[in-house]
Amino acid sequence: MAHNPKFGPFAQTPQQRAHVLRQMLIVRENMGLKTPTRAQALYQRYVAGELSWQEVCDLLAAPSALPSPVPFGSDRQSL
């Protein structure tokens, strides 16, 4: 098997990526952090080899991953 630079040395196969992901999720859970629903689909794409970990992080940080902004002035109360 040739080394794929898209993935780390211990994440070359789907099984290895799944193991790394499980470890990371356990750490997040122990820290009291929840996994967003959107992240779960990206994690599966990582395990499948469709996305690198950096691509997963970039997609999660993208503005589309954030809640829709509140329109300006909608939070103002009537005087």
pLDDT tens readout for residues 18-50: 999 999 999 999 999 988 888 999 999 999 999
Q: What sign does the dihedral 6-46-62-30 (CA atoms) show?
A: negative
pLDDT higher than threshold 70 for residue 66: no
Question: Is-contact 52 27, C-beta < 8 A?
Answer: no
- Average of per-residue pLDDT values in the chain: 85
pLDDT for res 69: 59
Helix pair angle (53-61, 37-48), 10° resolution: 160
Residue 79 pLDDT level (bands cut at 50, 70, 90): very low
Tell me the residue type at 48. Answer: A
More confident residue, 50 or 1: 50
For residue 77, which amino acid is it? Q
